[in-house]
Amino acid sequence: MKFSRRETLGLIAAGSLSAVTGCKETQTALPSSPADLADMDAIAQTELVKSGEMSARELVQAAITRIEALDGQIGAFTDFHPERALNQADKVDTSLPLAGLPYALKDLNEYPGMKLERGTAMFKGNMGEKRSKYTQKIDNSGAIILGKTATPEFGLLGTTEPLAYGDCKNPWNLNHSPGGSSGGASAAVAARMIPMAQAGDGGGSIRNPAALCGIYGLKPSRGRFPDQGNPKRDIEISIKHAVSLSVRDSALMLSLTEKPKGRLDPVGFISGPDGGKKRIAVTINSIRGEAPHPDVAKAVEEAAGQLETLGHEVEFVETGPGLSKGLFDDFVVLWGQSVVAIVQAAEQISGKPARESGLLEGWTIDLSDRYLALDAEYRDAAMKRLKQGGAKLRRWLEGYDAWLTPSAAMPAPPLGWTRGDLPYEQNLARSSELVAHFAIHNVAGTPAASIPFGFSGGLPIAVQISAALGKEADILSLSYDLEKARPWAHMKPPLSA
């Protein structure tokens, strides 16, 4: 629903975005209505600017007001620059596709004049100096960067509780995690502080928090964007994109940031379902043979039924693509490979063993230690198995238009479920359970999206739709189908604008 510039300013002036008070353990909801600006997705908000109904400054100021009211309880932002954002809004070209959009970057991305702390004491107070090609594309879209959002140390856990900075909490229940590693981004969007935020995914870190916060999260194909990834890994698993209130927001940001030329054909802006009937495989258990939470399993079955009702062909496949049950163990080897240099740097900086330096969490050091304890033959074999598993999945997916599975295997866990100071085996077991349906798509490079699909005990749950490499258009089409059949944008957390 649109409303006039005068009505928008009236909402703000009348205090519809009043401050939240009380202790952090108390959830206090802000007043809202169906016509509230905060309920609009990114495209709807920027249309107000492009039509002249609001100025970019007014749009950004409204987001600043929401963040100031809510974030003291949630902890989504690690760096916040309201004055800079307002100055940028005053200068934005209103013809740009996302002109004036209040946006934020996950704090694993460098950006000039903003902190780059990566969720670790090792980089506390560190400041960014430059833009990447990817963040330059975000700037070129007209989006206004308000600040940075919380991540676990180096994005290495599926919850967002960095020991050096404090917990990020789920706005659906402040005693629970928003997931990770894009936990701050997802919490901010779920609470309607901003309608979309940049996120990144190296093992489920877009899809996991999107699922746990009740919003949409698409992990695109490997090779879709410029300058993505970690050159220290044998297999490139990380990719950046966004979490959003709507499918169309994510689809538009994809079209604005993807490579115009490359080995993958550009997706372009997919603005709705294509109307085609698709062949969809459905698997409920993980590749480890583990069943998800019963409510998540039920959600997958209901989503399959919904898609079948819409005319798609649905085929239940019990074992999925037949991948190795040991894939997650090999995946952890890949994680460890990327942090060895970090641990060595911490020891050089402090002049002490890593565990005595106070610069790194135990989980980061554990990953490095476990990797270094492996002989070269085992490491090479693990990388070979991962590459073979990824290739197997890519081939298998070519036989279907999409694959429907659980997203996060459970509702949001309580705070403390995984943390950087817990025993290695505990973090490992719980992380493998949480990302059971995610990591293989990072290994294969295939696209996948988390789609909200109900609740369990008052917490959101979701399903995942994936597809063959480069087939984001099929995922987006089916996402639009489910968004229309089972809308989620009106379902707001107790703590939200």
What is the average pLDDT across 344-355?
97
Give the alpha-carbon dihedral of 222, 227, 228, 232, to 10 degrees.
110
Question: Among 205-219, 304-318, 327-341, which stretch is predicted with the lowest mean pLDDT?
Answer: 327-341
Distances in Å between the Cα of 65 and the Cα atoms of 82, 215, 292, 497 are 10, 22, 39, 10
Q: How many CB atoms lie within 10 A of CB 26?
A: 11
> CA-to-CA distance for 164 and 441, rounded, in angstroms?
30
Inter-axis angle of helices 247-257 and 42-50, nearest 10: 70
> CA-to-CA distance for 54 and 9, rounded, in angstroms?
9
- 16, 55, 106, 141: the catalytic one is 106
What is the average pLDDT across 411-439?
95
The average confidence (pLDDT) of the chain is 91
> CA-to-CA distance for 86 and 255, rounded, in angstroms?
26
pLDDT at 226: 82
**Would you call 106 a catalytic residue per the annotation?**
yes
Q: Report whether 236 contacts 229 (CB < 8 A).
A: yes
* 25 vs 268, higher pLDDT: 268
Strongest mean pLDDT among 230-234, 288-292, 295-299, 436-440: 295-299
What is the average pLDDT across 148-152?
98
The 3-class SS string of 434-452 reads: HCCCCHHHHHHCCCEEEEE
What is the average pLDDT across 25-41?
57
Dihedral sign, Cα of residue 81, residue 86, residue 91, residue 94: positive
pLDDT at 4: 31
> Angle CA(47)–CA(65)–CA(136) in degrees, nearest 5?
55
What is the average pLDDT across 276-295?
94
Give the alpha-carbon dihedral of 7, 13, 17, 19, to 10 degrees.
180
The tokens describing 213, both together, are: 């916060």
Alpha helix locations (H) across 265-417?
294-309, 327-350, 354-357, 362-373, 376-397
CA 193 to chain centre: 16
**Would you call 182 a catalytic residue per the annotation?**
no
What is the average pLDDT across 443-447?
96
Which phi and psi angles does 79 have, rounded to 5°? -150, 135
pLDDT at 228: 79
Say yes or no to pLDDT of 233 above 90: no
Model confidence at 28, pLDDT cuts 50, 70, 90, reads very low
The tokens describing 178, both together, are: 């928003």
pLDDT (tens digit per residue) in 465-480: 999 999 999 999 999 9
DSSP assignment of 395-422 equals: HHHTTSSEEEEESSSSSPPBTTSS-TTS
- 16, 205, 238, 450: the catalytic one is 205
Model confidence at 27, pLDDT cuts 50, 70, 90, reads very low
Q: Report whether 31 contacts 496 (CB < 8 A).
A: no
Which phi and psi angles does 130 have, rounded to 5°? -140, 170
Q: Report whether 210 contacts 244 (CB < 8 A).
A: no
Question: Among 21-25, 216-220, 272-276, which stretch is predicted with the lowest mean pLDDT?
Answer: 21-25
pLDDT at 30: 37
Q: What is the pTM of this model?
A: 0.92
> CA-to-CA distance for 146 and 57, rounded, in angstroms?
12
Say yes or no to pLDDT of 319 above 90: no
Model confidence at 287, pLDDT cuts 50, 70, 90, reads confident
Say yes or no to pLDDT of 11 above 60: no
Q: Letter for the amino acid at 85? A: A
Model confidence at 25, pLDDT cuts 50, 70, 90, reads very low
Q: How many CB atoms lie within 10 A of CB 168?
A: 32
pLDDT (tens digit per residue) in 107-139: 999 999 999 999 999 999 999 999 999 999 999
The CATH number that domain 5-17+36-322+391-485 falls under is 3.90.1300.10
* Distant-in-sequence, close-in-space partners of 114: CB < 8 Å, separation ≥ 6: 79, 81, 105, 127, 128, 145, 147, 148
Say yes or no to pLDDT of 349 above 70: yes
Peptide bond into 368 cis (omega under 30): no
Residue extents of the structural domains in the chain: 5-17+36-322+391-485
pLDDT at 323: 67
Q: What is the CA radius of gyration of the chain?
A: 21
pLDDT (tens digit per residue) in 194-212: 999 999 999 999 999 999 9
DSSP helix/strand/coil, 348: helix
What is the average pLDDT across 163-178?
98
**Would you call 205 a catalytic residue per the annotation?**
yes
Inter-axis angle of helices 424-434 and 362-373, nearest 10: 90
Model confidence at 72, pLDDT cuts 50, 70, 90, reads very high
What is the average pLDDT across 363-385?
96
Q: How many CB atoms lie within 10 A of CB 393?
A: 26
What is the average pLDDT across 348-357?
97
pLDDT at 326: 79
pLDDT at 322: 60
Q: Which of 94, 110, 199 is nearest to 151 (CA)?
A: 199
pLDDT at 429: 93
Q: Report whether 37 contacts 4 (CB < 8 A).
A: no
pLDDT (tens digit per residue) in 74-99: 999 999 999 999 999 999 999 999 99
- 16, 55, 181, 450: the catalytic one is 181
What is the average pLDDT across 331-341?
92
Which phi and psi angles does 134 have, rounded to 5°? -70, -50
pLDDT at 459: 98
